Structure 1
């Protein structure tokens, strides 16, 4: 049985068990359109309708009730066969992973020792770049992204929340004064990260509601790593992920500003093309990263 047909069967089972394409898409971390296409392809392959669809509910046809029992057994056999190959050290081959420089250096690489100890016969390649990788063109198995996703052909699984904070060095604060409210920011040197959709606009939610501030500064940077270096050099104020600064905040190398004001969180996604999503080594690695992020991000 080819992988495409198995994906169609998984889609059918998810819809049948949840009774809703919407609920199934949330559970599987994919889009409603993708599941609908997979279901239609399965029905075309079988030559019969599996589900009754209405605006209010979805129910199984007689053929669907019969096929569901066989589909459940097929998926159970698939899981059992994969489990037999996923014993310690049995994952083989190569994983090509794309992520930003900061995510790779700060979150991913420190966790790889435990992963490689568990799977010594699996090699890995990290494609570290702050530019979004094209999964298919770059032959990437999985990418970790915090940017908005526009390609509906990709499967995005949320695995963590990245909280953002405002930071500056103690030297900068001593030299240019403290910042007590977002309205103080236009009078400061703010470091502009050009990799966002709205560079120079910082949106806060504070005690009195939402506050949007247009900031300015003499320095704009295209990578978060360079942004970190600029903050440590005392060149200005920046908005950055909190996980970038765990050690530096504890050591007093940087200071968190405006703690009573919250910036919008970013969701961390594990993104795959449909053909890689079913691969056991990809799923296991994403599971591993998600578990590590729980402890690191809090």
Structure 2
């Protein structure tokens, strides 16, 4: 095994969390993996990992080698692509996480145009609302809607989505149209409750508390069910504009309390920091930004 292959193996060990997992990934025995890392350590003249029967940790040198290795391997991969095609031609598999409804509405329908532009790139799309550890779980990119938690990931701001309160005309004809935020207390609300806790609705341009906790007969942590409940005339909901953009445009739902809208919600693309962004990932991220910029209000305000 040459030094570059050994470096790739070391990176795989770090990101999979163990020698055994890396060995399974590449289809060899664990002793062979241990032998190659020992050879790399002898070549570098330093210990890279500390191993016990139950855990593996990087030494300070190992962490430095891992971070440098990511850059070296990334640069070499782009060099191979450039030489192999006479110009930079993105290729390979991208593993991406995306909120389920966001992916269904804004990513999947546009993929044919992406593949026509980059036929050698494959996209593995994983629909999930949870916060994913990209490195540990082997993802290249995550598209996230909403505020970001503290993270070691690099975040690119792609667009923002206006926050809207909507209901169907049928619901508003029957129950009236709220004119001020406190009037939602007299209305049925479709309650978004991730982790079983209702999420407060935020408002701007008002005196006093800028948020209200909605109440209603139906609560869910699933955005698709939020859409279905509102379209079934079950009440008001506050949501990012992208979730109901088509229905607002068609008149299937009506936006209310527009004068009290809070700041828009950001949409970010996240990828691991400390490594060079592969060309295949960069062009996909650029493509998503292009898609969002082409879908203006009420869905998005571009970054």
Give the unaligned 5+ runs of structure 2.
Answer: 9-59, 69-74
CA–CA distance in structure 2, aligned partners of residues 146 and 218 of structure 1: 26
Q: 1:188 maps to what in 2?
A: 187
Q: 1:127 maps to what in 2?
A: 126
Question: CA offset at residue 263 of structure 1?
Answer: 2.0
Question: CA offset at residue 138 of structure 1?
Answer: 2.5
Count residues with an aligned counterpart: 233
CA–CA distance in structure 2, aligned partners of residues 87 and 223 of structure 1: 47
Q: 1:243 maps to what in 2?
A: 242
Residues 1-298 of structure 1 mapped to structure 2, 5 A cutoff: 90-150=89-149, 152-195=151-194, 199-206=198-205, 211-274=210-273, 277-296=276-295, 297-298=300-301
Root-mean-square deviation over aligned CA pairs = 3.4
Closer, same or farther: CA 87–193 of 1 in aligned 2, 3 Å? farther
Deviations 1:51-85 (A, max 9, x none): xxxxxxxxxxxxxxxxxxxxxxxxx9998887667
Structure 2 counterpart SS, 1:136: helix
Closer, same or farther: CA 198–212 of 1 in aligned 2, 3 Å? farther
Structure 1 counterpart SS, 2:164: strand
Question: TM-score under structure 2 normalisation?
Answer: 0.66
Does structure 2 retain, via aligned residues, the 8 Å contact 1:89–1:118?
A: no
CA–CA distance in structure 2, aligned partners of residues 241 and 105 of structure 1: 15
Does structure 2 retain, via aligned residues, the 8 Å contact 1:88–1:118?
A: no
Closer, same or farther: CA 88–169 of 1 in aligned 2, 3 Å? farther
Structure 1 counterpart SS, 2:235: coil
Question: TM-score under structure 1 normalisation?
Answer: 0.67
Deviations 1:79-99 (A, max 9, x none): 888766788993222111101
Deviations 1:112-167 (A, max 9, x none): 11110011122111101222333123311100012443453321111111211000
Structure 2 counterpart SS, 1:102: helix
Deviates more, 1:87-96 or 1:77-86: 77-86
Does structure 1 retain, via aligned residues, the 8 Å contact 2:202–2:212?
A: yes
Does structure 2 retain, via aligned residues, the 8 Å contact 1:141–1:276?
A: no
CA–CA distance in structure 1, aligned partners of residues 86 and 187 of structure 2: 56
Structure 1 counterpart SS, 2:170: helix
Closer, same or farther: CA 87–176 of 1 in aligned 2, 3 Å? farther
